[in-house]
Amino acid sequence: MGIAEYILVAISYGTCLAGEAAPNLPGCRGVMAVSPNLTSNKVHPGVWLNPFPEAMAMGAPMVDDDTLSRFARRMVYTNEAIASEYIDSYKHTDPDFRVAVGKTIMSAGWTDELENLRALHVPVAVVFGKHEQMIHTNYMDGFPPLWRQKSIHVEDAAHLVNAEQPDAFNAVLAEFAADVFK
């Protein structure tokens, strides 16, 4: 692609993929982890996952409409249109893919994603919605490469920060990029 330096932005489960890929990211100048659920040998899903009844929807082939609706509403703060988009996307996702993702999350077969990111020696911006319900938002406190030594909490957003508050999300991303590339 001809891109020498970049910032990797990952959202939700994508942050795990970023953590797994971190050892192979030449040219990466920073990572923005949005609603992260990064794992390690010490930080397993039981540490970051805030238990809730609809959590099984993440790894189920399909769930009933009521469960899916409650799950989607945990993803957003108040934006019903985004919740509806999520429901539609869920229903159009290959059920086998969801099952595979669920098995991967629960398998404990991950590398130390936090160590992988730390070893990149780049700043890691962590962004949560202020109304996050699915993930404990303090689990990355004290993470050494944490940008500005704190997580960012975006007002009027839950798990899908970038969708619910795109202007605020883009402002944080622009500020992070300016800091990283100065």
Dump pLDDT digits (tens) for 80-118. 999 999 999 999 999 999 999 888 877 767 889 999 999
Q: Which residue matches tokens 């805030």? A: 50
Give me the CATH number covering residue 81.
3.40.50.1820
Instruction: Give which of 45, 41, 63, 42 is closest to 53, Cα–Cα.
Output: 63
Q: pLDDT per residue over 12-70, tens digit each?
A: 999 999 999 999 999 999 999 999 999 887 888 888 989 999 999 989 999 999 999 99
pTM of the shown model: 0.94
- Residue 124 inside a domain? The answer is yes
**Parent domain of 60:** 6-180
Residue 145 confidence (pLDDT): 96
Query: 39 or 72: whose pLDDT is higher?
Result: 72
Q: How far is CA 78 from CA 38, 84, 108, 181, in A?
A: 26, 12, 33, 34
Q: How many domains does the chain have?
A: 1
Alpha helices in 50-125 (DSSP H): 65-75, 80-91, 95-107, 113-119
Tokens matching residue 63: 């769930």
The per-residue pLDDT for range 146-175, each reduced to its tens digit, is 999 999 999 999 999 999 999 999 999 999
Residue 1 lies in a domain: no
pLDDT (0 to 100) of residue 107: 76
| pLDDT at 1 > cutoff 70 | no
